[in-house]
Amino acid sequence: MTELKLRPWKESDLDSLVTYANNWNVAKNLTDKFPHPYTRENGKQFIDYACSSNPIRVFAIDLGGEAVGGIGIHPQDDIHRKNAELGYWLAEPFWGKGIISEAIKEIVDIAFKTFEIDRVFARPFGTNIASQKVLEKNNFVLEGRFKKVLLKNGEHLDELVYAIRREN
């Protein structure tokens, strides 16, 4: 496998971003903020957003110089300030190759080194078994299941909350 790198997004990633993100099999497992169809304008807005934070919180998953997905850590505020949410997606041609697992391991390390947090959490849909398995593989623990609280594409879905703690 080509070496995986997490790096900042750049304008030259726009073509690969739009190519890989414009896929219903990717979008169906993400919030509605990840549009489908995914247009060049969506891609430009996303890259601007991803590049706007310092330190960088949203990274391109780079394989061989090509952006094939994204992963981000989103520190919370107020009473949730010791927590950060993890979000990620990977282009369908790269599923099942251990790429997202490696990216999660790396971003969790970055999160605990960069931010004053004690917990990183992720909220996969109850229907997204692959995401649940990759979180468990990375030592995330299922903390809760909220039955039919999400509405995606006219369907009520369960929301799961997985987390890993700094001490783990």
* Cα–Cα distance for residue pair 126/145, rounded to 1 Å: 8
* C-beta separation of 80 from 99 below 8 A: no
Predicted confidence (pLDDT) per residue in 31-85, tens digit: 999 999 999 999 999 999 999 999 999 999 999 999 999 999 999 999 999 999 9
What pLDDT is recorded for position 104? 98
The one-letter code for the residue type at 16 is S
pTM above 0.75, yes or no: yes
3-state secondary structure 67-107: EEEEEEEEECCHHHCCEEEEEEEECHHHCCCCHHHHHHHHH
Task: Quickly state the pLDDT bin for 2 (edges 50, 70, 90).
Answer: low
Residues 6 or more apart whose Cβ sits within 8 Å of residue 85: 73, 74, 76, 120, 121, 122, 123
161 has pLDDT over 60: yes
Share of the chain above pLDDT 90, in %: 97
* Domain layout of the chain by residue ranges: 4-120
Secondary structure class of 42 (helix, strand, coil): helix
The topology under which CATH files domain 4-120 is Aminopeptidase (3.40.630)
Peptide bond into 55 cis (omega under 30): yes
Secondary structure class of 105 (helix, strand, coil): helix
What pLDDT is recorded for position 168? 78
